Structure 1
Amino acid sequence: MPRSDAGERLDRFLSRALALPVERIRSLVAAGSVRIRGKTCSPHRKLFGGEAIDVARPAPVAAAASGPELVVLHDDADCLVVAKPAGLAVEPSRIGGPSVVTAASRLGAFDVDGRAVPGLPHRLDRDTTGALLLARSDRALAALRAAFEAGRVEKDYLALVAGAPPDRGRLDTPYARSPADPRRFTTRVPSARRARLSFEVAARLEGAALLRVALETGRTHQIRVQLAEAGWPVLGDPVYGVPSPVIARQALHAERLAFPRPADGARVEVRAPVPDDLARALEALGGGPR
């Protein structure tokens, strides 16, 4: 370690140096996998500077793979982008249950928090389709999360909504859990948290419109809530939207994702094809994206 880091605690230094959560470093120390001058040590040990620190990371624990085959949109040594299908949760609701995480674990090598499964820098709702970014390592996960927090990731969605929104617009609102139902979110309460998105009409349809939505923040259920409370609910959304005979789930698709590649910061841009059920809904309403 550099002498300039003298005085820092071992767990905090290794967390920063290895891009691992502090809890993961402490578990490695407790397991005897971290040694200084050949001896085990406390995670709280203050470093003198200039010590050689040996870290033996065990092989990641394999996880049972379950779920459908996923379409791969991008793949490199750091990350993977898959086309998430409707009806598949991102994380399993029970041990061994189907999910994007367990299905993607078949797609190459992963080592995240000591497990051979991908890390999640962001999420999509169960019935939202489209581009989902996964990390292959702790270091890649930390870099991607930092990119999201810094606003260096672009996320564009297609949303099929009821009504006639303006050609383009921007929503910047408070955002919080609903006082009436903590499982839901709303813009209609005072809150220091803000939710921001912009949109433009891609196609005007029979009693509906197809919007291209660019997220500026990534709040849970954000697009569904903001559009519904602005007067343009997402078709097929059973919680915030309106039922529709043309689609059996919320008509929301993560169409485009652009992000800096963890290895070198190079920009990666990925597009997910429109799924069949959304394409049929657009055709039934007399149009599609321009």
Structure 2
Amino acid sequence: MNRTLQYRGNAENAGMRIGDFLRSQGYSRHVIIHLKKTEHGILLNGEWAYVGQTLKEGDVLEVHIIEEEFSEQIVARELPLTIIYEDEDLMVINKPADMPIHPSINNYDNTLANALMWYFEKQGQPFVYRCINRLDRDTTGLLIVAKNILSGGILSDMSKKREIHREYLALAEGKVPESGVIDAPIARKEESVIERCVDFEKGNRAVTHFWRLDEWNGYSLVRLKLETGRTHQIRVHMKYIGHPLTGDYLYNPDYRILDHQALHSWKLAFRHPITGEQMQFRADPPWWPVGTEFSGF
């Protein structure tokens, strides 16, 4: 992946060292080291430049992000891939059910990473896999993939600061209360590697906000926002209040309606890591209402 960015010296940044200016734009130490090792990685008025040089008004600073390596452990596979948005810096993907995010021992070639490797291999482009927000294997919906080392670093930092805003839709059993907040700590369940549970002694604080939007044949359509990001948080919290998600193989293996958990990342909002533009995406769930048209809201 090659990415060229250009900046101009002005009254605001004049006198700043190039390294300090780049850091103000979100360049991490790791990215700056990468640029220093790249031939013509940093140019000032067309000439190779040190990060210690200072900017003047009217200067033209060019940054060339060149990545020729690729994720060697990820094999390319032609798999379903729905791209909602793509530019030079990032992609927004609508992930289907039964697709893990990362390869593992039992999921070597059936993941989102494999699908993206195939996508870029067809274009003859090297690709380093940088998935910003994780979704469980059977959770559907929107997630972000960074396309270069700079956007990846900025987006990861935004994720840690909870500046990437996500909303989920879920199909829960029974009539869920109209709205509420679940504040119940979550811990790993004893003798289980995967399963989590509410544990007020050993758990980490977890907070989920929810709103009931609709009802259908003994099920509720629920909108959810996370205040924290614990593993399986929505699934565990909804079971805790007596309204587990239908089709959840770990916490409620009832497959009368769906063969996978009815949890969907439907709304995503964040600031573009390079341009600063506010971005918002939406993808309606593939499973609601069952057999009828989704009206939206």
TM-score past 0.5 threshold: yes
In the alignment, is residue 282 of structure 1 matched against residue 282 of structure 2? no
Q: Map 1:180-195; keep pairs closer than 5 Å.
A: 180-191=191-202, 193-195=204-206
In the alignment, is residue 253 of structure 1 matched against residue 264 of structure 2? yes
Summarize deviations over 1:83-106 as a string: whole Å, max 9, x none. 101111111225961211121234
Alpha-carbon distance change, 175 to 257 in structure 1, aligned in 2, over 3 angstroms: same
Deviation, 1:212, is 0.9
> Which ranges of 4 or more aligned residues in structure 1 deviate by more than 4 Å?
1-5, 32-35, 55-58, 106-109, 286-290
Instruction: Determine helix, strand or coil for the equivalent of 1:105.
Output: helix
The answer as to whether partners of 1:236 and 1:243 remain within 8 angstroms in 2 is yes
- Find the partner of 1:217 among 220, 228, 236: 228
TM-score with structure 1 length normalisation? 0.74
Alpha-carbon distance change, 287 to 244 in structure 1, aligned in 2, over 3 angstroms: farther
Structure 1: stretches of 5+ with no match in the other structure: 6-12, 36-48, 110-114
Cα RMSD, aligned residues only: 3.7
Q: Map 1:157-236; keep pairs closer than 5 Å.
A: 157-191=168-202, 193-236=204-247
The answer as to whether partners of 2:176 and 2:220 remain within 8 angstroms in 1 is yes
Summarize deviations over 1:220-268 as a string: whole Å, max 9, x none. 1111011111111000001012403111110111111111110122111
- Find the partner of 1:128 among 139, 152, 168: 139
Summarize deviations over 1:96-153 as a string: whole Å, max 9, x none. 61211121234459xxxxx613301111111111111111112111211221222221
Structure 2: stretches of 5+ with no match in the other structure: 1-15, 40-51, 55-63
- Find the partner of 1:84 among 84, 90, 95: 95
Aligned equivalents of 1:3 and 1:73: distance in 2?
A: 35
Give the percent of matched residue pairs that are identical in Structure 1 and Structure 2. 29
Aligned equivalents of 1:79 and 1:232: distance in 2?
A: 36
Equivalent position amino acid for 2:206 in 1: A
Aligned equivalents of 1:168 and 1:157: distance in 2?
A: 14
Aligned length: 255
Aligned equivalents of 1:147 and 1:169: distance in 2?
A: 27
The answer as to whether partners of 2:184 and 2:200 remain within 8 angstroms in 1 is no
Deviation, 1:56, is 9.8
Aligned equivalents of 1:243 and 1:65: distance in 2?
A: 34
